[in-house]
Amino acid sequence: MEYLKDPLDRDDLSLIIGAIDDSPSAMVRQDSTFTDLGLRETDLVDPTAVVELLLKHPPLMQRPVGVLGDRAVVARPSERILELFDR
């Protein structure tokens, strides 16, 4: 899926954030755009706040994200995708 051409909606983002084992902040790229918006990692603790941020600024979504059933993983590094198959 090309997430910039067809951004995820609120429900999809909420499902993914709920399915990852990491903090909701793992879904956000903390790059220059993040800094330019005046954001801090402490702004990313609440899953709802992360969903709202990613709805407004889709390029901030960390990727790749793998989803398998009711589990998801932010595959950074890419080897993390294997965690979906561990269970």
Specify the CATH number for the domain of residue 26.
3.40.30.10
Please check whether residue 66 lies inside any domain of the structure: yes
Number of domains in the chain: 1
Please check whether residue 20 lies inside any domain of the structure: yes
Please check whether residue 48 lies inside any domain of the structure: yes
- Full pLDDT tens readout for the chain, 87 residues: 688 888 899 999 999 999 999 999 999 999 999 999 999 989 999 999 999 999 999 999 999 999 999 999 999 999 999 999 986
Please check whether residue 4 lies inside any domain of the structure: no
Q: At what angle do helices 47-56 and 10-19 cross, to 10 degrees?
A: 140
Question: Which domain, by its residues, includes 65?
Answer: 10-85
* Angle (CA) 71 76 79, round 5°: 75
Please check whether residue 3 lies inside any domain of the structure: no
Please check whether residue 2 lies inside any domain of the structure: no
CA-to-CA separations, 39 to 18, 52, 57, 70, in angstroms, rounded: 22, 13, 12, 30
